[in-house]
Structure 1
Amino acid sequence: MSPRRSDPEVRPLLLEIAARLLHEEGPRALSTRRLAAEAGCSTMAVYTYFGGMSGLVRHMVHEGFARLEACFSRVARTADPVADMALLGRAYRHNALTNPHLYRAMFGALSLSGFSLSEEDRQHGRYTLTNVVECARRCIETGRFVRRDPEMVAHHMWITLHGLVTLDLGEYLVPPYDADRCFEEQLTMLMVSVGDRPEAAQRSARTAAGRFDVEIKSG
């Protein structure tokens, strides 16, 4: 059952299985033998396509951020940059909820099992903030956000939404303070916290919600 290098399905299949096992059973479930059994191939497939388990873990991280970047790229640039920023926030949460099996790997969940992310891996993740930084710059230039470092604004958005999404995935947020309600409230509060007026922020958040199905969900 050795893998065929021309087989286009083996590599992505191994990534998906590894991410699913991580999500469902934790880092200890990851082994070449378990992956091979689930994928219906030999253990050599992990070495053929990834150079070993460490390489597979690294590719999981990169795949997760590649999907996030693809989700961000679907946000159109409009005359309302705050609505664009709110939609980027919705895209972040949507990507996490759609790929919960990859989300843990993206942020170092495997470190407890001896798999550590390199600085190069982390920089790969930081690069996905490019669209958010550019959007923050437009929000500042149009006077919607107070004039400050757009990269700091982007980090502020990332840190806050990451915390909310982590609680969401962990099922900690329940009625009356469920994840949807907290997210909607937090999205507007984020825009206000960097200088936008509450009424304008709410209006832009509603505009972003109306764009979600077409630009993000359908993608």
Structure 2
Amino acid sequence: MARIRRDLRSQLVEVAAGLLAAEGPRSLSARRLGKELGTSSTTVYTHFGGMPELVREVMREGFRRLGAELASVSRSDDPVADVVGLILAYRRAAHGAPHLYRVMFGGSEVAGFELTDDDRRIGRRTLAVARDTIQRCTQAGRFRPVEPRILAHQLWCQVHGLVSLELAGYRPADPDDHGDLRHYWRSFAVGAGDTTERAAASVQSALANRIAAE
């Protein structure tokens, strides 16, 4: 029975995220969720206490999955390649669960739900790995001595903007087709202080490592 409850809780998160992303906040109701899962409309209140807390769990589940993807990037002797590895992982996570990604960053507009400071800390903590990896680039003399947090925010803005455009259909959305993206990533590294040749080699190394891992 306990396993069934856990599975139903997870299913509620998945279905709620999908409805929010595909149809917007008006689609989300206890009755609709119950219908989608073939259960009672009271299920949401039994497992979460209400719709706002369900949406909060949707957002946090998204960051848990993103964190797992980022943590899967192995640390190597080439910190710039590791930065590109994190970019690949971020993009892969977004395309793997676009419904969760949209809720994480696009908001839900569900009555009663507002991001808390704890929610935002979860997001920042998840993405701190980028700051730490960029700091390694600076220590290795690949990036100029700038506060790692600044470069991490710059990288996040760039990758988040790219992924948002892809998910909205404004550019090709194949996460395995890197095409001109390798030039974007190389340009980021060069802008951060790396040489064109070393940056290009690191990008190629990261892509080769990703292909080998599949």
TM-score normalised by L of structure 2: 0.92
Question: Is the aligned partner of 1:132 residue 2:136?
Answer: no
Q: 1:79 to 1:174 in 2, by over 3 A?
A: closer
Q: Distance between the aligned counterparts of 1:150 and 1:108, measured in 2? A: 26
Q: Find 1:142's aligned residue among 140, 143, 146.
A: 140
- Mapped contact 2:52–2:112 kept (Cα < 8 A): no
Alignment-derived partner of residue 199 in structure 2: 201
- Mapped contact 2:58–2:100 kept (Cα < 8 A): yes
- Gaps of at least 5 residues in structure 2 are none
- Mapped contact 1:146–1:195 kept (Cα < 8 A): yes
- Partner-residue secondary structure (3-state), 1:41: coil
What amino acid sits opposite 1:127 in the alignment?
A: R
Q: Find 2:81's aligned residue among 58, 80, 83.
A: 83
Alignment-derived partner of residue 184 in structure 1: 182
Deviations 1:35-92 (A, max 9, x none): 1110111122111211111001000110000000000001011100000000100111
Deviations 1:126-176 (A, max 9, x none): 11122111101110000000011111111111111000100010010159x
Number of equivalent positions: 210
Cα RMSD after superposing both structures: 1.8
Identity of aligned residues (%): 41
Q: Distance between the aligned counterparts of 2:131 and 2:83, measured in 1? A: 10
Q: CA deviation at 1:184?
A: 2.2
- Gaps of at least 5 residues in structure 1 are none
Q: 1:9 to 1:30 in 2, by over 3 A?
A: same
What amino acid sits opposite 2:118 in the alignment?
A: E
Q: Find 2:57's aligned residue among 56, 59, 67.
A: 59
- Partner-residue secondary structure (3-state), 1:140: helix
